[in-house]
Amino acid sequence: MKIGRLLTAMITPMKPDESVDYDEAVRVAEHLVASGCDGVIVSGTTGESPALGDEEKLELFRRIKGALGNGGSVVAGTGGNNTIHSVELTKRAVECGVDGILAVVPYYNKPTQDGMLRHFGSIAEASSAPVIVYNIPGRTGANMLPTTLLELAKRHKTIVGVKESSGDLAQITAICRERADGFSVWSGDDYLFLPALAVGADGLISVAAHACAARFRELLDAVDEGDLRMAAAIHQETAPIVAMLFATTNPIPVKWLMNEFGFAAGGCRSPLGAMPESLMAPLRALAEPYRPIVHAR
């Protein structure tokens, strides 16, 4: 896969005044690729996309792709609940040289399956870059059915895969069973990484890879080599920190953790809140074995 099998949905670092810290965003992206990721999702949900402006997103795309070059893929989060706006942002993101587009099922609107076909069809027709559909009904309020997804891929050659975050292993199984050759399935839930691989998924778009990228790469390699005992051991080892990173609304915990690791991640923009004090010590303890060596900027 050109885009890669292990991707991190990366945070967007903020300065104390809540402006985007572009230099630190580049630093985080470079660290994630060096840790074992094939690339990064920029301005996804974990990157606080609903709280970013278009020009901020585009500058992130330009800066991070310019820094990574051919060393790591950059997938631009351009989807939203306004089809016209999503199409225009997608066109501008492609002009930044990104390797792919991530477009989420429109949130709040609760579109019908036909509405999803129209929405994603418009984005696909506007993009010369590969498009990954992002299905996360727990956030959007609407689930894209496998039949709808596969019809989209049949109609539009630029739709190349799905980040499936329904949490429904039966749905992931159905997609893997019915998909055409070349259509990729990424688990969008860290806790389902190994189970999703077991039913045919190709990889992971991760939040926890901010801490566990190297271990997730080892898990993926173990599955490829048929060493399921090793893969299960890594899955069991990383399960506690994965759970803790979602103990409150993402990306609050992972952004706090990146500050703990020595990155200038800053806080989350409003309307997200601060890290609950009750979660700090437990997450710090779980994360200690994964602490990277970070040099001062």
Q: Is the dihedral of CA 192, 198, 199, 205 positive or negative?
A: positive
**Tens of pLDDT along 183-210?**
999 999 999 999 999 999 999 999 999 9
Q: What is the pLDDT of residue 2?
A: 85
In-domain check, residue 210 = yes
- Averaged over 129-157, what is the pLDDT? 97
In-domain check, residue 276 = no
Residue 253: half-sphere exposure toward Cβ, Cα within 13 Å? 23
In-domain check, residue 218 = yes
In-domain check, residue 207 = yes
In-domain check, residue 266 = no
Residue 1 has pLDDT above 60, yes or no: no
Residue 256 has pLDDT above 70, yes or no: yes
Q: How confident is the model at residue 294 (pLDDT cuts 50, 70, 90)?
A: low
Model confidence, pTM = 0.96
Mean model confidence pLDDT for the chain:
97
- Averaged over 243-249, what is the pLDDT? 98
In-domain check, residue 116 = yes
Domain that holds residue 70: 6-234
DSSP string, 2-40: -S-SEEEE----B-TTS-B-HHHHHHHHHHHHHTT-SEE
Q: Which of 74-78, 127-131, 281-285, 292-296 has the lowest mean pLDDT?
A: 292-296
Outline where the chain has alpha helix (H).
Answer: 22-34, 54-68, 83-95, 113-126, 137-140, 146-155, 169-178, 193-198, 209-224, 228-245, 252-260, 277-287
Residue 296 has pLDDT above 90, yes or no: no
The enclosing domain of 192 has a CATH number of 3.20.20.70
**Tens of pLDDT along 24-61?**
999 999 999 999 999 999 999 999 999 999 999 999 99
**Catalytic annotation, residues:** 134, 163
- Averaged over 103-110, what is the pLDDT? 96
Q: What is the pLDDT of residue 293?
A: 72
In-domain check, residue 240 = no
In-domain check, residue 35 = yes
Residue 218 has pLDDT above 90, yes or no: yes
Residue 274 has pLDDT above 90, yes or no: yes
Q: What percent of the chain has pLDDT over 90?
A: 97
The structural domain count of the chain equals 1
